Amino acid sequence: MAEQLRDFAHAFLHALRNLTPIIVVVVAFQALLFREWPEGGMSIAIGLLIVAIGVALFLQGLELSIFPVGKRLANQFARRGSMPLLMAFGFAIGFSAVVAEPALIAVAEQAYEISEGRIDALTLRLIVAGSVGLVMAVGVLRVILGHPLHWYMIGGYATVVLVTFFAPEEIVGLAYDSGGVTTNIVTVPLIAALGIGLASSIRGRNPLLDGFGLVALAVMVPMISVQLYGILVYADPGDIANGAALVADSDTDAPSGPLVMILDLFGMLRDVLPIILVILFFQFGVLRRPLANPVKVGVGFALVIIGLYAFVVGLKLGLFPIGERMAEQLIGFDSWLWVYLFAFAIGFATTMAEPALIAVGQQAEEAAAGKIQGNVIRILVAVGVAIGITIGVHRIISGDSIHYYIIGGYSLVIALTALSPRYIVALAFDLGGVTTSEVTVPLVTALGIGLAGQIEGRNVLIDGFGLIAFASIFPIVTVMSYAILMERVAHWREKRP
């Protein structure tokens, strides 16, 4: 018990540290620019504390249950050498992990409310989770066969750009944001471990060239599938009022008090249940082996559910109000400069503290054998996120169509992919996928929705989403540009007499 308490305290302090950059930026703006304590400040502070507790419980639960069991399963399948089993396991892990992803749940609920019921939250999550599952199966096959990743990425993003031409503007920002939030608190460690573990265990594979890239594929394919879903949803204008009435009717008879808490907890169990069932099925049904430490695993699953519940409650109390309130306050100034400055500061500060980025940077440094420095990678990615969110905020302020920005951004990414040294391509795309953390996503989403709601002539559904997409695009650009520059410098130095 003492060891578990120490682990929880460590995870809680770690979660608070990840929240600290956001708190510093918000407090600095409130004290130096607005010179006032934010309205509902105590509720926001309590919400942030609950977020930290939820993240700590959730992570500790993952460490006790899902991570060790998942890794053991992946190692056992790799030793068996069965391609169908590995692909089936990849699909099941990808699907179940994304369905339980807290950030995706938050974005899906926001989309449901803003679209007045037209975009169904559960349908959106199932589409995204199914896409990631398919990608995991294909990604496992790619590692086994040793195919170069850049052909997958160039072809994939060319398809993304093509579909964007035909997608309705109501779905484009949401589709790109849905791709950005698939790789987060649950998925990144599992996906990265699966890819690197496979590449390390197969003769002739390079962990840097072949092990990375699964995260990048998990970001890309949901962008296509959600836009196709949007084409179907918005093909017939229909009667949006019906959706609004549906929402209103459901709210009228909604339960309240302790019953709500019980129902929400059961909702969290429903969200995590797929990954639990997948792991148990492969453990008992396929491998036919008992679980190691079943009591410990059971406690871990319970902590995952309770932590996920606390996380969602904290979001509603803390992070969503911060983003919307800051947007409202910043718009009150005569100059848009402060909005851009806040967007850049939040993007840079939160990314530098992102634990998934730190972990991937360390893995890349080890795999690259001196070619890559983890700290340099973190700074490049943080600058890319800051630039991306700032450009995304400018799009909302100017009212420009997201189509042109997205198509232009990914056209640049495709061009850089063709020019970049091969060793950096998979890593760069993966880094674009790990920049959106469980803390950053809700805040950035709320900032975009708040800006779109406050600026006259903006549509919240069309203009409010999309910031996460920009936060995913530009780290790829900065990392690839740096690699190209370093290669040119090295080439120039070799030619010097």
- The string of pLDDT tens digits covering residues 39-95 is 667 777 888 888 888 878 877 887 787 667 766 776 677 677 677 888 888 888 788
Q: Is 397 exposed, middle or buried (0-12, 13-18, 19+ CB in 10 A)?
A: middle
Alpha carbon distance 148, 135 (integer Å): 15
Average per-residue pLDDT for the chain: 77
Per the CB < 8 A criterion, the answer to whether 170 and 423 are in contact is no
Alpha carbon distance 305, 286 (integer Å): 26
Residue count of the chain: 497
pLDDT mean over 215-237: 82
pLDDT at 250: 39
Q: What is the pTM of this model?
A: 0.70
Give 326's pLDDT tier (boundaries 50, 70, 90): confident
Any idea where the domains of the chain sit in the sequence?
2-495
| Enclosing H/E stretch for 69 | helix 66-80
388 pLDDT above the threshold of 60: yes
Alpha carbon distance 219, 374 (integer Å): 22
pLDDT at 456: 82
- Which pair of tokens denotes residue 292? 């190691």
Give 252's pLDDT tier (boundaries 50, 70, 90): very low
pLDDT at 271: 65
Alpha carbon distance 190, 436 (integer Å): 16
Per the CB < 8 A criterion, the answer to whether 54 and 16 are in contact is no
246 pLDDT above the threshold of 50: no
Q: Is the dihedral of CA 78, 81, 86, 89 positive or negative?
A: negative
**Tokens 């718009």 correspond to what residue?**
331
**pLDDT tens column, 443-458:** 777 788 888 888 888 8
Q: Is the dihedral of CA 266, 272, 278, 281 positive or negative?
A: negative
213 pLDDT above the threshold of 80: no
Q: What is the DSSP letter of 116?
A: T
pLDDT mean over 123-147: 86
- Mean pLDDT is lowest, of 54-58, 199-203, 470-474, for 199-203
255 pLDDT above the threshold of 60: no
